Amino acid sequence: MTERKKAEAHAPASDEIVEPANTIPEITFEQLSPRMQDAARRAGWDKLMPVQARSIPYLLAGRDLMVQSRTGSGKTGAFLLPILEKIDRSRPVTQALILAPTRELAIQIVGEAATLSGDEPVNVLPIYGGVGYGQQLDGLKSGAHIVVGTPGRILDHLDRRTLVLDDLKIIVLDEADRLLSMGFYPDMRQLARSLPRRRAGFMFSATFPPAVRSLAREFLHEPDFLSLSKDHIHVADVPHIYYEVPGMDKDRALVRIIEIENPQTALIFCNTKVRVNYVATVLQRFGYDADQLTADLSQNEREGVIRKFHAGKLRFLIATDIAARGIDVEDLAMVIQYEFPEETELYIHRAGRTGRAGAAGVAISLVAREERRDFIHVCTKYKIEMEKRELPTDDDVAAVVGERTVALLEAAQRGRDRLQIERMQRMLPLVSSLFETEDERALLAMLLDDFYQQSHHGAFGSQEAKEAPAPRKAESQGGRQRSRRGGSRRGR
């Protein structure tokens, strides 16, 4: 049985994302309850955005829902308004849990919740790592109605029994694709087993590749699906994104983009076999699982590379248009155009290799100044709406890689038994001493870099994600045996 068929064996009878058959009509601002209208006005809204108008009725009805909607579409208000409407303010227990991929997003959600709730007695508590536990413990003891946080630190509090979810009514997974790209999949699966059986679940994500759909099966029960991005998707039903990059800095730009986007798989196009060889060499030397496909390969070599890519054993394949003919990979997460094609039609052929048969996918272009004319011609000819993104800086990459590394380290620590944790204590004096000089800090950085390079390739879209079993029956907090580990742990 292939890996794909194994995953499908655990999937529901219909794994396709479809619009709900029994659609609930959109809601208008005037149809909101007086409390919800007051909350919206506090945020400066006098009408609802499309994602809010379409999804709020489902959330109010308690129907599990997956929503495809991009950042900046108003999705935060779409789930906060119904949550504030449905929680019982007189009960100082956690009734809503919102999972976010980064502490910055968690803080943003808490800020918006504070604006919407105004002076009403609603306790919204952020829980994330990189800070002490004291303030979070105080907030939980005082009774947090809504908890917003990153999965690792949430799991820490569940392990310590300082967070109890027996009265949970609603769980929200915000930016689910980023939750996976940050390496939270093992934590998410463990967290799903802590949820009470009866509660509503909502997932918001810009894309819904197989790994995200697998995650949905862990948290949601027969969810409906709404797409708020369809009006912005053209050519092969994928989002089209571009970065303006210096022509002499494309290789470094590609590495930074890969680190930020963290695709499960990607087909990278170049215009010449010389450039294919160069890009493949750069990615391999940087530690990526990458290979090339050019006309210079023998038939056996070519077939071997294609088999690896088809089987999901090769993450990045760099190729020319001629060499890539005939490659048809299901669920290809991303196409990257390292060089913009010399013929406009080739853009369509390249972009069309992702997002096939209703699957999710993204087409990314690296556009240098000398390629801008061809780029504009393609956009005009095919009426493609391109989303421009700012090129990530080294600091952006360092921040994302840092959070991802902590997520992986904490997941590994949770798997340790008591003896391993006891043995680990002997290293604490050494760790403290390694912060004293720059040379010693470099040793620690080397170890962390090696750990990250060895671990992060499997963090998103790993075999574990592809073969995710059917959701286990949820257990209440009281029915679970948890380990209680002493000492503080740095969370996310």
pLDDT at 10 over 50: no
Q: Are residues 165 and 307 in the same domain?
A: no
Report if residue 458 sits inside a domain. Answer: no
Q: Has residue 437 been placed in a domain?
A: no
Residue 4: predicted pLDDT = 32
| pTM, rounded to two decimals | 0.63
Reported as a single tens digit per residue, the pLDDT across 157-172 is: 999 999 999 999 999 9
Please indicate, yes or no, if residue 279 is contained in any of the structural domains: yes
Q: What is the CATH number of the domain that holds 106?
A: 3.40.50.300
63 and 134: one domain?
yes
Which of 212, 231, 250 terminates a domain? The answer is: 231
Structure-token pair, residue 453? 């390079």
Q: What is the mean pLDDT of the chain?
A: 81
Q: Are residues 195 and 273 in the same domain?
A: no
In a domain, 432, yes or no: no
> Do residue 174 and residue 25 come from a single domain?
yes
For residue 387, CA distances in Å to 72, 247, 255, 418 come to 13, 20, 20, 49
Q: Which of 231, 260, 278 is the last residue of a domain?
A: 231
Give the C-alpha distances (Å, rounded to integers) separating 61 from 78, 93, 169, 200, 259. 13, 22, 12, 9, 39
Residue 454 falls inside a structural domain: no
Kindly state whether residues 12 and 69 are assigned to the same domain. Answer: yes
Residue 431 lies in a domain: no
Please give the residue range of the domain that contains residue 294: 240-384
Task: Examine the pLDDT at 362 and tell me if it is beyond 60.
Answer: yes
Classify each residue of 288-319 as buried b or exposed e, where b means 16 or more C-beta atoms within 10 Å of its C-beta. bebbbbbeebeeeeeeebbeebbebebbbbbb
* pLDDT at 80 > cutoff 90: yes
Output phi, psi for 226, to 5 deg.
Answer: -125, 135
Number of separate domains in the chain: 2
- If asked whether residues 281 and 215 sit together in one domain, one would say no
pLDDT band per the 50, 70, 90 thresholds, residue 490? very low
Question: How do residues 389-427 score in pLDDT, each as one tens digit?
Answer: 999 999 999 999 998 888 888 888 888 888 999 999 999
**pLDDT-wise least confident of 19-23, 182-186, 201-205:** 19-23
Same domain flag for 358 and 292: yes
Angstrom CA distances, 269 to 119, 272, 303, stand at 54, 9, 18
- Report the alpha-carbon distance of residue 96 to residue 92 in Å, rounded: 12
Question: Considering 359, 384, 409, which residue would you say is the last residue of a domain?
Answer: 384
| CA–CA distance, 311 with 118 (Å, rounded to integer) | 53
The answer on 139 and 35 residing in a single domain is yes
Give me the pLDDT at residue 487, please.
38
Does residue 167 share a domain with residue 39? yes
d(CA 466, CA 455): 17
- Asked whether residue 185 is assigned to any structural domain, the reply reads yes
Residues 195 and 263 in one domain: no
Confidence class of residue 71 from pLDDT cuts 50, 70 and 90? low
Do 245 and 217 sit in the same domain of this protein? no
Domain assignment of residue 402, yes or no: no
pLDDT at 235 over 90: no
Give the CA angle between residues 404, 186, 491 to the nearest 5°. Answer: 45
As a whole number, mean pLDDT of residues 422-441 equals 88
Average pLDDT over residues 427-437: 87
Q: Do 122 and 190 belong to one domain?
A: yes
pLDDT in tens, 105-123: 898 899 999 999 988 889 9
